[in-house]
Amino acid sequence: MFLTSKSAISRERRTELLAFEKNAQLRFKSIELLNLALTHRSYTNEDSSHSPNNEKLEFLGDSVLGMVVATYLYKILQDKAEGDLARIKSYVVSEDTLSIAAHGLLIQDYILVGKGEELSGGRGKKAILADAMEAVIGATYLDSGFEAAEKLVLRLVEPEILKVLQNRHRKDYKTILQEYVQKYHRSYPAYALVKKTGPDHDRTFWMSCSVGKTEYGPASGKNKKEAEQNAAKVAYDAIVEEGGLEAARLLQTESQ
């Protein structure tokens, strides 16, 4: 038996959670466990009566997600090499993919966040949504077992796996560019913070990407990781344009 928080859930909150279940096509035996999965640490930091948050469920859900995806890829792609499976899995369990899945379940409408996060657009932050998605997976596993969690994960990721196999997925430009530069230039892309703009609670970061002596960008993002990804795309696009079809072919090979 797994212990869950027994913090009182208001009638209004219970109604919200039932609405979430209906939209997400889920059914929890423990509504407290679902509520915990949808409780961000910023909320508990501001309200001492709700001390637990979803971080442990996120940790568990991450492991369940990885196991389900790895097993599924192993079964359906037996002709692929280990490196290919790892690349597909990396995309499927990425923050971008999980945040999109979270949007599909409307997690942004039901997650509890603190006032500070609310004011800074926390409900729309990829990291918060992706973590909550993993927490819901972990909660489903604890509440209803592995088969239920596996069913949820596959419902979310099978369309994304298909996109990868059809080369219609959102590219990880940092990885593509790094593999290309390492193989053909014997070096690595270098990223540098150019500037930060906006107030502390709503920063925009501007990063440049250098390949050899050529600097590309800068490109912006709401965090350094996102800005680096966008700067890598700028470099990717420029290299394809400068190098023509041959560069495009080589970069396309790295993206497979």
- In the residue annotation, 46 being an active-site residue is answered as no
Beta bridge partners of 204: 197
Which tokens hold the place of 213?
């002596």
Say if residues 207 and 192 touch (Cβ distance below 8 Å).
yes
Cα(72)–Cα(68) distance, integer angstroms: 6
SS3 (DSSP) at 144: helix
- In the residue annotation, 62 being an active-site residue is answered as yes
Beta bridge partners of 112: 39
Say if residues 76 and 3 touch (Cβ distance below 8 Å).
no
Cα(6)–Cα(109) distance, integer angstroms: 23
Cα(231)–Cα(102) distance, integer angstroms: 26
Which tokens hold the place of 33?
């466990």
Say if residues 57 and 135 touch (Cβ distance below 8 Å).
yes
List Cβ neighbours of 120 (8 Å cut-off, separation of 6 or more): 201, 202
Burial 24-37 (b: 16+ CB within 10 A, else e): bebebebbbbbbbb
Which one of the listed residues 32, 62, 143, 228 is annotated catalytic? 62
Where are the strands (E) in the chain, listed by range? Answer: 190-197, 204-211, 214-221
Which one of the listed residues 58, 117, 131, 134 is annotated catalytic? 134
Q: Which residues are catalytic?
A: 62, 134
